[in-house]
Amino acid sequence: MSNVHVIIPAAGHGSRLGQSIPKQFTRIGDKTILEYIDAVFARIQSIESVFIALNPKEKTIAHGNYQFSNKTTILYTGGESRAQTVLHSLLEINKQIDENDWVMVHDAARIGITEFMINQFIREVSTDKVGGIVAIPVTDTVKKINKKSEVIGTEDRDVLWLAQTPQMFRNKILKKALKNFQGTPTDEAEAVEALGLKPKLFKGNTQNFKITYPEDLLRAQNALHLIKEGKL
């Protein structure tokens, strides 16, 4: 199997969390969110390297005592969007990784991942010619509305899934997808889909949510407790 590399885009500010520092540097217990995520990926034997992509003006990390793995490299490749950050990072590490290597992208604010989930994800997706994403099925009824907030239809939830991360694609495919995409994709998969390719779906879990609002910090603590108890 080709080498697997991880990019963690961590250039955002997370203003909706209502803090003076970017949310990825929020401490939960004795570690920051970013340190928890880095440690999980670093412990996985099949992962060759981890790259954390920060905003070029990021000062928080320079004034704190942060512990990252020996596999981890800090990049100052943050762009105006997540897609730009990932593409800038791919171009920065271009000489370090092979065109056919796998590149896995994971949000810097999804703390509910486990080594077991990632190992399963790698095993399943690495057999696909395109790559794939972690996602969960929609459980609520989904309504479509117009600009007046009027309901104009009900979607078939049996074919709808909520995309999460990690998302993993061949280096050459992901790079081409992000370079060629017209506009700003919401995730890596959207850019890959625009090439006419069909990413594989891997079922994740609800604890792998994205920390966005203050109340999510309590949910993140609960998720970490479940992980430590071996219940995830």
Kindly give the residue spans of alpha helices, DSSP state H, lying in the chain: 33-42, 82-92, 115-125, 171-180, 188-193, 216-228
CATH code for the structural domain at 4-228: 3.90.550.10
Burial grade of 200 (CB within 10 A; 0-12, 13-18, 19 or more) = middle
Confidence (pLDDT) at 2:
87
Whether the full predicted model's pTM is greater than 0.75, yes or no, is: yes
Residues of the chain with pLDDT under 50: none
Q: Say what the pLDDT of residue 6 is.
A: 98
Q: What is the pLDDT of residue 21?
A: 82
Q: What is the largest CA-CA distance in the chain?
A: 53
Q: Please report the pLDDT score of residue 15 as a whole number.
A: 65
Residue 115 burial (CB count, 10 A): 14
Look at residue 131 in the predicted model and tell me its pLDDT: 97
Region of 18 (left: φ > 0; alpha: ψ -120 to 50; beta: rest) is left
Gap between the Cα atoms of 134 and 118, Å rounded:
9
Residues contacting residue 6 through CB under 8 Å, at least 6 positions apart:
41, 47, 49, 50, 51, 103, 104, 105, 106, 166
Torsion over CA: 220, 31, 165, 22 (sign):
positive
pLDDT, position 99? 96
pLDDT at position 16 is: 67
